[in-house]
Amino acid sequence: MTQPTKRCARCGEEKPLTEFYIDTRGWGGKSSWCKDCVREYNRQNYAKHSEKYKAYARKYRREHNEELKLKRASHYKKNKVAINRKNDEWRRKTEPLLRQQVLRRFGGKCEKCGFNDRRALQIDHIHGDGAKERKIHSITGVRFYRKLLKLTDSELNRNYQLLCANCQWIKRFENHEYRGI
């Protein structure tokens, strides 16, 4: 027995009835468009409207900027403890994941000696003078790692390297960044 088929009114293809959604108004109890066509239509339609919606939201944010700022500030003030705790939790979860990704991009071992215990690997700013370097490391881990992950391989390797704590200290000493010895 051959499978019953139906021609899609949109793409014109003859397809088995199972390729059509149920629609009691349609021929054979199925919709006039095939499943692929319905899905494609919904996708396009959604994209069109989500653009419209996003544009509207952007406009609203622009026009109510000051008001929203105040609202956010007062919301923060009222919920400070809970918000900070949530942010801390998020950071504790996110930071090691991002760090792992960054270390992987560097090959996971010290550039100088090959040491590969992640606990003692540090990201070193290759050409950084002392002040610049300290500034970079003072921004929080998540932001720093995200910034590194956005760089291309060549940008990353031109400016940063992975060093173990020993090699990092030796470099500081050789660069006269550390005067304690």
Contacts with Zn ion by CB under 5 A lie at 8, 10-11, 34, 37, 110, 112-113, 115, 164, 167
**Residue whose CB is less far from Zn ion, 98 or 162:** 162
Q: Judged by CB, which is closer to Zn ion: 142, or 170? A: 170
Phi, psi of 16 (to 5 degrees): -60, 150
| Residue entry with tokens 């606990």 | 119
- Tell the residue number behind the tokens 């000493």, with chain if given: 173
Rounded to whole angstroms, the Cα distance separating 13 from 89 reads: 53
Q: Please, how many CA atoms are within 13 Å of residue 125, restricted to the half-sphere of its CB?
A: 15
Closest CA to 125 of 97, 155, 90, 152: 155
Return d(Cα 16, Cα 6) in angstroms, integer. 6
Give alpha helix (H) positions in the chain: 35-63, 65-105, 130-138, 141-150, 153-159, 165-174
Distance of closest approach, residue 168 Cβ to Zn ion, in angstroms: 8
* Least Cβ distance, residue 26 to Zn ion (angstroms): 13
Closest approach of Zn ion to the CB of residue 34, in Å: 3
Of 94 and 122, nearer to Zn ion (C-beta) is 122
Min dist. Cβ of residue 134 to Zn ion (A): 21
Q: At closest approach, how far in Å is the CB of 8 from Zn ion?
A: 3
